[in-house]
Structure formats: C-alpha cells, structure tokens
Chain A
Amino acid sequence: MDLEIRKRELVKEFSPMLKKSTKTSKIWIAFLIAIILVGVVAFIIQAVKGHEVTGMRDNVVWGIYIINFIFFVCLSYSGAFISGILHFFKTPWKNSVMRIVEIITVLSLIIGPIFILLCIGRLDRLHYLFLYPRIQSPITWDIIAILTDLIGCFIYLYLTFIPDFAILRDNSKKAPAWRQKLYKKLAIGYYDTPTQREKLHKITRTMSAMIIALAIIAYSVLAWIFSLTLQPGWNSSIFAPYFIVAGLYSGIGVIIIAMYLIRKFYHLEHYIRKIHFIGAGVILLVISLLFGYFTFSEYFSRWFSHKTHDVNLLNTLFNRYFWMFIFANYIGVIAPIIILFFKKFRTIKSITFAAVIAVLGLWFNRYLIIVPTLETPYLPIQDSRPEFIHYSATWIEWALSFAGVAAFILFFILIMRLVPIIPMSGIIDHEREQKRHPKNLTQNQK
C-alpha cells in the first residue's frame, strides 16, 4: 500500500532524531543538567535557610520568581492561543510549526507554576489552598484557571500526538522493546481508519477552540492578580488585554527562536522554510505594534494625568530604571518593528534576532511592572537598610531562574526524542489532501 510505504519512509527519515544522541547533543544535555543541578542546590539552600537568602524583603516581596512565573505562563497561554488558531482555521503552513508550539505550551505551563511555588513562604502548608479555600481571592481563581488550562493543554497535546504514536507503533520494529510498548500504549488503538480519523479531527478541532478561550481567561486572571490591587503601577483596567498581547509577543518570539534552533540542529531546512519565518515575523510585527500601543497607553495616561503616586512611580522608572526602561519599552518594541517592517530586512537570521530582542525586552518589561511598583508604595519607604529599600536578585534567585530555562530546553529535547518534531501524520494528511486538490498552494512548495 502506498500510504504504508510513505509512513515507513517518514519514520526512517525522522528516526535519526529519535535515536542515539550525537556528541554535541550529549554535551548540551550534560550542560543543561549541570545548570539544573545548580538550581537544585539553590533551592535546597532556600528551603533550609528560608527566604532570607533571596533579595526579597518587606517592600519588594515579589521578585524575579514572580516575573519568571508570569513570563513562562504567558508563553504557555500564547502558545495555546496560537496553536488553537492555527488548528482551528486550518492555516496552510501550520504543520511544520504546530508541534513546536504545542510543546512550548505544555512545558512552560509546567515550569511556570514552579516559580510561584518558590515565592511561597510555607511550602509545607500548600495543601491549605485546598483545605481552606477562599473563592474571593484572585489567587484561588488563578489556581483554578491554571489547573484547568494545564489539563486542557495536556489533552490537546495528546490528541495531536495520537496519529504519530500510531505510525511509530507500526513502524518501529527495530526499536527497543520499551519504546514499542510505550508507543502501543500511547496510541490507544488508533489505526487511522477513516471514521477514527474523522472523529479525532473533530475532537481536536473542538479542543483547539476551547483552548483559545481557556488561554484568554487564564491569562486575564493572572493579570488581575496585579490589577485588582490598589498599587499605583498595577491598578489599571487595561492590564488583562495588555498581558494577553504581551504574552503573544513573547510567545511568538520564543516560537521563532525555537524554529531557528531546531531547524539548525536537526537540519530540517526542508520542512521549516523561510516562508514560515516570514509568516511568523509578520505576526510578530503586528503584535509588536499592538504591544507598543498598549505600553504607550499605559504609561502615557499615568504621565499625563500625573497623580502624585503615579508620578512617584514614573520617577522611579526614569531614574533608577532608566536604561532598563529604554531597553524594555523602546528598543524591545521599536527594533523588532524596524527589522520586520522592511521586506529586505526579513531574512531568517534577522527575524530570529528581532525575536530575541522582543523576548528579552518583554522579560524586562515584566520586571519593570513588578519591582519598581513595589519599591514605590503609597507611604514612602523610610528605612535605613539598603536591602529593604531596593531589590536586587541574589545568586539563588538567578540560579533557579536559569535552572527553569534549562529545564525547559532539556524537556524540549527529551520530548523530541519521543516523537518527531514535525508531525508525520500531518505530512500524510497533507499529501492526501494534495492528491485530491493538486492545485492548492501548499507548505512544501515555495
């Protein structure tokens, strides 16, 4: 049978990615594990000595942990959002990037909440959240939203994996026994019959729509944790949409970076093409314009109406955090716009560069939302201890932050060992479609 041969071909093509690691990848994995181990040491020190080892004190009670938390969770929401949209609207070039987006979604949703746990003074009492829940608290809303989102994303990711597990089950006779068994279990009796295929497509499509809604709700709730307080820099009605746009901004940035790295390391130039980069780049351009607009409105209204406490906050931002503000809110927005706006600048490398700037800028944008606000409370801080007046993260906090990033990359690599990063079932669907309507413009043609 034609189809079966093609499937075998694809497994053969992608199997080097799944098999034994090369020297460089081994070094990479060792390096990542080393970073994670440093993070583990930092965590143990924090657990034993208490939060005293962090740079957080009574005024700035939330530091880079919570910044990483919002950053990772926003990556996840934007990933869910993007993959939902790609799937729901059957975007023509979706297949090559689909799985990258989905893996980013789930991994960041696992790593993000770990950072909020690092913020909590009494981890031994975490179950109190369920023993004595108070539904009035935005934290409770957030827990419900994140858990729902996590489950939804897992189901969705799994649904998209099933056809590939089935192909791998049928075509990995030489693979070790545990792998064969694992694939068989995970494929849950999917044999790609027309009825099964149709059913799966239907469920995936429904799930993709739900995931878009979930992402919007969950990220709005996260923004409300800040905007429902009375703090001058947080109490803003545009925070929820602002966070969603910001999330999309960093999300697309990270997707572009991941596309670049995966294409380079696994030599997937045939699948991840320039057209993908240009498509993602144009979306990044649109979102960067939106993000810039939201950022401008947020600070402009504070500056123009100049309420005392807003002015105090702006003074903090423009004195102590001047360069960070310039980088996050000027360069981080304008540089990607310039690179992506002109057609002749749109090369794979420059688009990736723009994405890197966007992601870094966004991280600092989050920093500027959290830390300066807490350093500028309503009643002036009158303290003689420097660490209580200004926040600066300690090595413990940095170690744990980098451990989070390392864990993200490591898990990404490990998942790519289990299933090919390019969905094989998607290629087959695509080719089947092509046979039926040969004239359609498709992803594998330029």
Chain B
Amino acid sequence: MENTEEHKEGTNRRNFLKLGLLSGVSAVAGLSIASNAAHEEATSGEKVRVLTPDGKMVEVDAESLNKYPDAHITPAESRKGIPNRKFVMVIDLAKCKNARKCVESCQKAHNLDYNEEFMKVQLIQDNEEGSPYWFPKPCFHCDEPPCVTVCPTGATFKRDDGIVLIDNDRCIGCKFCITSCPYSARQFNWGHKDKFDDKSQPYSPETSVPAAEGTVMKCDFCPDMLRQGKLPHCAQSCPMGVIYFGDKNEDIVTNGEETVRFSDLIKDRGGYRHLEHLGTKPNVYYLPAVDRQFPLERGFNVDEDIIERYKDVPYVQELKKKGEI
C-alpha cells in the first residue's frame, strides 16, 4: 500500500507479511472501532496508531483493539471483504510431488474428516502422450462465479477482495451451486457429525467452522489467516513452496520463502487458468509442469487408499501393469 516502492526486487517474505499484518490489523481495528463506538469508551491511556480501512492513519485507545487477534467476524461482516485487496493464488505444478501437506493442514484447520478435502490433489493426464502431473485444486474463487449466480438465497457470495464464501447459516442446502460449479470444488454435509455441535468457536464464514448438516462447504482461502497477515494454511504448510499467495492489487505473491511479482511470474512461466474457456475467470493460476523438480513417482508415497483414487489415469494403469505400484 503506502510503501510499494520498497517492494522492488529482493523484497523478502518478512516485508510482505509485515505489510499484510499492518493492513490486517487496520482492517480488524477498523471493525472493532466501529463496533466499539457504540459502547462506552474504556480508556487505558495508551494510544496506538492504526490505519483505517479508507486509508487514514488514526490514533486510538489500545483498549479498542482488544478483539484482535481473536476478533470474531460475523456472517454479516464477512460479506464485505478485506478492503483494497484482490487475493490471488498461483500453484507451481513443477514443484508438486503430492506430499499432501496442504490437504492435511487444511483439514486440520477447518476441522475436516479424512475424506473431506477443500484442497484436493488430483493426478491429471491431459492426453495419452502427455505426461501426468499432480494437480492441487482448491476453490478457484472465480470472478464470474457460477455458484454465486445460481444461489437462491445469497448464502454464497463474492466479496470485494475476490474471495467467494459460503454462509452456512443462510444455506438451505438446495445443492444448485454444487451442480453449477465446473470444478467440483464444493462439498455437502450429508449427515450429522458430532463436530458440528462443537460451539467452542463461534461460526464464521471466514473460518468455515463449525460446519452444519445439510449445508455446503468449500475452500475459503482462509480469510481469518489473511486478516492476521498470514498465508492460508495450504500455502504455509507446503514443504515444496508450490503454492504462492498474494494480492493482485500489489502485484505480489509469496510462497513463504520467496516473494515475487505476480505479473512477472505469470508472464515468465507461462501461467494459465484451468478451463479458461468456460469464462469463469478463476483467481487461481497454474504454472505448467515443466522442468520438474521431482519425478512423478515420488507422489505415490501415500496411503493405499489415496493411490486407489488415481486408478483410472492411463499412466497409473500402466504402472500397475508393470507391477511398480
């Protein structure tokens, strides 16, 4: 924002995160100020300088910030989005070896079961000659989201910062969004589970926890983490640095180790979006699987049950024929 000049070549992750943190604080602070304004002014005498959502630097009482970092974003607040942001994800297919750390950390953070995956790793072979590659697939948070258009109650919505969320307090479970998503990003809670009753954490569409029976859920880009200036769980946990995450407005993405200019990355590495011809305008970009860092076979070092998923891929059938897996 105010110090984009510092973010030329050589900017490191810390800088990005610090910036993120600052704006994260300011966003939360803005909200807490708004919600605290109605109450009586509790004063501690200590003053803190923060940035408001509309870009003004103001001095507020430290007490006003008490909701951070546990600030609970209500369903109504979560519809607004984080100001001046346009989140984007870049997935480098050349680095992915199906370590599944993104899947697991996401499941842990969102309290998902073994088979419930917001992030899926698929094995894609585009044609018979083509070389198969691991394809981590979150929700694409499209700019023209078919799921949002068809929702009859506005339970799923597109925010100003580009994120598509679901408010499971509003969802009636008609599943129309699931059928209209061409990327199979959405899941339904078919039956009751004990974890739905765990009310220790108040429900927020930004955390997707706790889920509710008879409603839809999906990858949410972890706005709760973004508000704290942190990367989403999948990007943070990937040991290979496959997943870059950042802000299109600032033209910066980071995988936690290196911070790069988003536009350069896409230009230099031939970035593309999956099924571009459908016109959904995803906010998740892929870098093609060229000059791979690992042989594909490294990805088969996973549960038997997960290998079983890939049985229809021609390459896997060949491997099986040869008796290699």
Contacts and interface: CB of A to CB of B under 8 A. Distances in A.
Interface residues of B, number: 46
A49 interface: yes
A122 B171 CA distance: 8
Interface string B130-162: 000000010000000010011111110000000
A382 B120 contact: yes
B153 A134 contact: yes
B308 A378 contact: no
B111 interface: no
A381 interface: yes
A52 B122 contact: no
B102 to A, nearest CB: 16
Q: Is the interface of B mostly helix, strand, loop or mixed?
A: loop
A126 B306 CA distance: 38
A382 B172 CA distance: 27
A24 B58 CA distance: 85
B192 interface: yes
B90 to A, nearest CB: 19
* Best-surrounded residue of A56, A134, A143 (most CB of chain B within 10 A): A134
B153 A128 contact: yes
Contacts of B234: none
A122 B173 contact: yes
Interface string B280-315: 100000000000000000000000011011101000
Given A121-B172, A121-B174, A377 B182 contact: yes
Q: Is the interface of A mostly helix, strand, loop or mixed?
A: loop
A50 B122 contact: no
A374 B179 contact: yes
Given A134-B152, A231-B182, A139 B176 contact: yes
B150 A229 contact: yes
Contacts, number: 134
A132 interface: yes
Contacts of B42: none
**Chain A, interface residues (CB within 8 Å), range:** 35 or more
A381 B124 CA distance: 11
Interface string A40-60: 000000000111111011110
A385 B153 contact: no
B150 A138 contact: yes
B137 A61 contact: no
Given A129-B152, A139-B150, A230 B214 contact: no
Contacts of A2: none
15 contacts: A49-B191, A119-B175, A120-B214, A121-B175, A122-B213, A128-B170, A129-B172, A132-B153, A133-B153, A134-B153, A136-B149, A231-B180, A377-B182, A379-B184, A380-B312
Query: Lowest 9 CB-CB distances: which A-B pairs, in order?
Result: A121-B173, A121-B214, A52-B191, A139-B152, A50-B191, A384-B308, A61-B175, A382-B309, A137-B152
Given A121-B175, A379-B184, 17 more contacts: A49-B191, A50-B190, A121-B215, A122-B214, A132-B153, A132-B155, A134-B153, A137-B149, A138-B176, A139-B152, A230-B146, A230-B280, A231-B180, A231-B182, A378-B275, A379-B122, A384-B306
